Amino acid sequence: MTTATLPDLAPSPMPAPAALPQADAAPRPALIEAKNVSVFYGAFEAIKSVSLDVSTNEVVAFIGPSGCGKSTFLRSINRINDMVRGCRVTGELKIGGQDIYASGVDLVTLRRQVGMVFQKPNPFPTSIYANVTYGPRLQGVKKRQELDAIVEDCLRKAAIWDEAKDRLHTSALGMSGGQQQRLCIARALATRPSVLLMDEPCSALDPIATAKIEDLIVGLKKLVTIIVVTHNMHQAARVSDRTAFFYLGKLIEYDETSTMFTNPNQKQTEEYITGRFG
């Protein structure tokens, strides 16, 4: 993988890579801290007082049946839910120590720091190059050389450089679904985020494309903290360090993925994971 050798991403407060295995139970510094977060759509409480934290450079999976609120919670982390009319968030949600729902928070900065990849690949109907440079251009990067470098860097990080390098100026819509999704990941990386939110990134993809995205998630965690919503239990088990199980808007259980899948605390978690409901 080329990812490791490439320049570092955002000025994320990355701890010295103490390449220790799982063994160290010492809590790493929390990057995202949610305390009693509730999300309302009008009068409906979609998320009920959820508290959890996510550490730097880990992959967290949100699982749960459809409508359990996991996507809603994800979408409140970059405040993209603000676009939904009648959506309201209470409680405290901090990223890097800053309350993102405090007044005066700059949403533009927030969303650059917290990138997002959506369920359905959604490249803009422009060229591959224009897709990746969209974010940097908004930030005022104009020089061709700089943009070229960003494009190559991000496409490499998203493991799609080899497939895209000869067609950078052709339409992104000419790519396959899996390629489009990796392009969307590259596009999100181009704003140098410290957190990457992925909302069921593989649900529209075939198994081979899915495997590529999963590899990518594991590779990218050196660079960014990743939260991935998934319906696929095996996927959660394969890619995540910790897993959060949501049910009916509540966080039922949140633990190391290995624990969740072998020895869950809650009966509901076990029943969901073993496929008895959901």
Partner 1 sequence: MIADRADRSLHDRLTRGASAVAYTLSIGFTVVILVTLLCVVGYLFTLGFSSLSLGFFTHLPTGAAQGDVGGMKHAVLGTLILIALASIVGIPLGLLTGIYLSEYDTGSKLATPIRFICDVLAGVPSIVVGILGYELLVRPLGHYNGYAGALALAFIMIPIVARTTEEMLRLVPGNYREASIGLGATKAETILQVIMPAATGSLVTGIMLAIARVAGETAPLLFTALGSRLLSTDPNEPMPSLTVQIFTYATGPSPDQQKLAWAGILVLIGLIFVLNLAIRFAASRRVGSKR
Rule CB under 8 A: is residue 73 a binding residue for partner 1?
A: no
- State in angstroms the smallest separation of the CB of 191 from partner 1: 6
Rule CB under 8 A: is residue 167 a binding residue for partner 1?
A: no
Q: Cβ distance 229 to 74 under 8 Å?
A: yes
**Beta carbon nearer to partner 1, 169 or 276:** 169
Rule CB under 8 A: is residue 12 a binding residue for partner 1?
A: no
> Which of the stretches 66-74, 120-128, 210-218, 245-253 binds partner 1 when contact is defined by CB under 8 A?
120-128
Rule CB under 8 A: is residue 133 a binding residue for partner 1?
A: no
Judged by CB under 8 A, which of 2, 139, 259, 262 binds partner 1? 139
**Beta carbon nearer to partner 1, 74 or 216:** 74
Rule CB under 8 A: is residue 120 a binding residue for partner 1?
A: yes
Rule CB under 8 A: is residue 248 a binding residue for partner 1?
A: no
- State in angstroms the smallest separation of the CB of 113 from partner 1: 8
- State in angstroms the smallest separation of the CB of 106 from partner 1: 9
Q: Which residues bind partner 1 (CB under 8 A)?
A: 78, 80, 83, 85-86, 108-112, 115-116, 118, 120, 122-127, 129-130, 134-135, 138-139, 169, 184, 187-188, 190-191
